[in-house]
Structure 1
Amino acid sequence: MNYFKKILRYAVPYRKYGFLNIFFNILYALFSALSFAALIPMLNVLFDKTKQLSAPPNFEGIGKAKDYFMDYMNYQVTQYSGEDPMKGLVLVVGLVLALFLLKNVFNYLAMYFITFLRNGVLKDIRNKMYSKIVDLPISYFSEKRKGDVIARITSDVLEIQHSFLSILELIVREPLTILFTIMVMFLISVKLTIFVFVFIPIAGMLISRIGKSLKRKSDKVQREQGEFLSIVEETLGGLRVIKAFNSESRFFNTFKKSTDRFFHFSNSLLNRQNLASPTGEFLGILVIGILLWFGGRLVLIEGSLDAASFIAYMGLAYNILTPAKAISKASYSVKKGNAAAERVLEILESENPIEDKASAIEKSNFNTDIQLNQVSFKYEDDYVLEDFNLVVPKGHTVALVGQSGSGKSTIANLVTRFYDVNKGEICIDGNNIKDITKKSLRGLLGLVTQDSILFNDTVRNNIGLGKENASEEEIIAAAKVANAHDFIMELPNGYNTNIGDSGNKLSGGQKQRLSIARAVLKNPPIMILDEATSALDTESERLVQDALEKMMQNRTSLVIAHRLSTIQNADTIVVISKGKIEEQGTHEELMKLGKGYKKLVEMQSFSL
Structure 2
Amino acid sequence: MKTYFRLLSFAKPIEKFAIPYVIATLFAIVFNTFLFTLLGPLMQALFLKDSLSKPLPSSGEKSLLDPRELFQAYIDKISTQHGDVYALQIICVVIVVTVFLANFFRYFSQRYMEDLRVHTLLNMRKKVFDNVMNLHVGYFNNERKGDIISKVASDVQVVQFTVTNTLQVVFKEPLQLIFFVAVLLSISVKLTLFSLLVIPVSGFIISKIVKRLKQQATQSHESFAKMIGFLDESLSGIKIIKAFNA
TM-score computed with the length of structure 2 as normaliser: 0.83
Structure 2 residue aligned with 1:233: 232
Q: C-alpha separation between the residues in 2 aligned to 1:166 and 1:97?
A: 30
Shift of 1:60: 4.3
Q: Secondary structure at the match of 1:13?
A: coil
* Conserved 8 A contact 1:118-1:165: yes
Structure 1 residue aligned with 2:199: 200
Shift of 1:34: 0.8
Deviations 1:423-446 (A, max 9, x none): xxxxxxxxxxxxxxxxxxxxxxxx
Cα–Cα, structure 1 residues 86 and 222, in superposed 2: closer, same or farther, change >3 Å? same
**Letter of the aligned partner of 2:73 in structure 1?**
Y
Q: C-alpha separation between the residues in 1 aligned to 2:159 and 2:12?
A: 16
TM-score computed with the length of structure 1 as normaliser: 0.36
Greater RCO, CA 8 A, separation 6+:
2
Percent identity for Structure 1 against Structure 2? 26
Q: C-alpha separation between the residues in 2 aligned to 1:67 and 1:165?
A: 34
* Conserved 8 A contact 1:58-1:68: no
Q: Secondary structure at the match of 2:97?
A: helix
Structure 1 residue aligned with 2:21: 21
Shift of 1:111: 0.8
Cα–Cα, structure 1 residues 240 and 59, in superposed 2: closer, same or farther, change >3 Å? closer
**Letter of the aligned partner of 2:14 in structure 1?**
Y
Q: C-alpha separation between the residues in 2 aligned to 1:9 and 1:73?
A: 50
* Conserved 8 A contact 2:53-2:84: no
**Letter of the aligned partner of 1:17 in structure 2?**
F
Shift of 1:216: 3.4
Cα–Cα, structure 1 residues 61 and 14, in superposed 2: closer, same or farther, change >3 Å? closer
Q: C-alpha separation between the residues in 2 aligned to 1:217 and 1:148?
A: 18
Structure 2 residue aligned with 1:186: 185
Deviations 1:135-176 (A, max 9, x none): 222222222112211111112223334444344344432332
Q: Secondary structure at the match of 1:136?
A: coil
User: Max radius of gyration: which structure?
Assistant: 1
* Conserved 8 A contact 1:26-1:172: no
Cα–Cα, structure 1 residues 3 and 218, in superposed 2: closer, same or farther, change >3 Å? farther
**Letter of the aligned partner of 1:217 in structure 2?**
Q
Shift of 1:91: 1.1
Question: Of the candidates 38, 49, 52, which is equivalent to residue 50 of structure 1?
Answer: 52
Q: C-alpha separation between the residues in 2 aligned to 1:244 and 1:70?
A: 79
Q: C-alpha separation between the residues in 2 aligned to 1:10 and 1:233?
A: 29
Matches within 5 A, 1:251-266: none
Gaps of 5+ in 1: 247-608
Q: C-alpha separation between the residues in 2 aligned to 1:228 and 1:115?
A: 28
Shift of 1:37: 0.5
Structure 2 residue aligned with 1:89: 88
Deviations 1:379-398 (A, max 9, x none): xxxxxxxxxxxxxxxxxxxx
**Letter of the aligned partner of 2:7 in structure 1?**
I
Deviations 1:23-49 (A, max 9, x none): 211111121111020122233333220
Q: C-alpha separation between the residues in 2 aligned to 1:132 and 1:77?
A: 68
Would you tell me which structure has more helix in proportion to its own residues? 2
**Letter of the aligned partner of 1:12 in structure 2?**
K
- 1:72 correspondence with 2:48: no
**Letter of the aligned partner of 1:50 in structure 2?**
L
Deviations 1:452-496 (A, max 9, x none): xxxxxxxxxxxxxxxxxxxxxxxxxxxxxxxxxxxxxxxxxxxxx
Q: Secondary structure at the match of 1:228?
A: helix
- 1:140 correspondence with 2:139: yes
Structure 2 residue aligned with 1:281: none
* Conserved 8 A contact 1:25-1:172: no
Give the number of equivalent residue pairs.
239
The RMSD of aligned alpha carbons is 2.8
Structure 1 residue aligned with 2:105: 106
* Conserved 8 A contact 1:28-1:173: no
Deviations 1:99-156 (A, max 9, x none): 1111111101101111110001111111111111222222222221122111111122
Structure 1 residue aligned with 2:117: 118
* Conserved 8 A contact 1:17-1:117: yes
**Letter of the aligned partner of 1:85 in structure 2?**
D
Would you tell me which structure has more strand in proportion to its own residues? 1
